[in-house]
Amino acid sequence: MLREEKISRPRFFLFFLTGLLLTVLLAAAPDRRPVAAAIAPEVREGDIIFHASTSSQSALIRLLTRSPYTHCGLVMRHKGRWLVLEAVQPVKLTPLAAWTARGAGGHYVLKRLKNADAALTPDVLERMRRLGLGMLGRAYDRQFRWSDAKLYCSELVWKLYRRGAGITLCKPQHFRDFNPARPSLAGEAARRYGKNMPPPDEPVVTPAALYDSPLLRIVREE
Three-class SS string for the chain?
CCCCCCCCHHHHHHHHHHHHHHHHHHHHCCCCHHHHHHHCCCCCCCCEEEECCCCHHHHHHHHHHCCCCCEEEEEEEECCEEEEEEECCCEEEEEHHHHHHHCHHHCCEEEEECCHHHHCCHHHHHHHHHHHHCCCCCEECCCCCCCCCEECHHHHHHHHHHHHHCCCCCCCEEHHHHCCCCHHHHHHHHHHHCCCCCCCCCEECCHHHHHCCCCEEEEEEC
The domain containing residue 62 runs over which residues? 30-221
Residue 123: inside a domain: yes
Query: Where is pLDDT greater, at 73 or 41?
Result: 73
Residue 25: inside a domain: no
Q: What is the CATH number of the domain that holds 95?
A: 3.90.1720.10
Residue 110: inside a domain: yes
14 pLDDT higher than 70: no
| Mean pLDDT value of segment 188-198 | 77
Residue 21: inside a domain: no
Question: pTM of the entire structure?
Answer: 0.79
67 pLDDT higher than 90: no
User: Which residues touch 86 (CB under 8 Å, ≥6 apart)?
Assistant: 71, 72, 73, 74, 92, 93, 94, 99, 153, 156
Residue 17: inside a domain: no
19 pLDDT higher than 50: no
Residue 193: inside a domain: yes
Provide the domain count of the chain: 1
Of 101, 67, 43, residue with least CA distance to 210? 67
| Mean pLDDT value of segment 143-170 | 96
The amino acid occupying position 113 is L
| pLDDT score recorded for residue 200 | 86
| Mean pLDDT value of segment 1-30 | 41
43 pLDDT higher than 90: yes
CB 99 within 8 A of CB 86: yes
Query: Where is pLDDT greater, at 176 or 17?
Result: 176
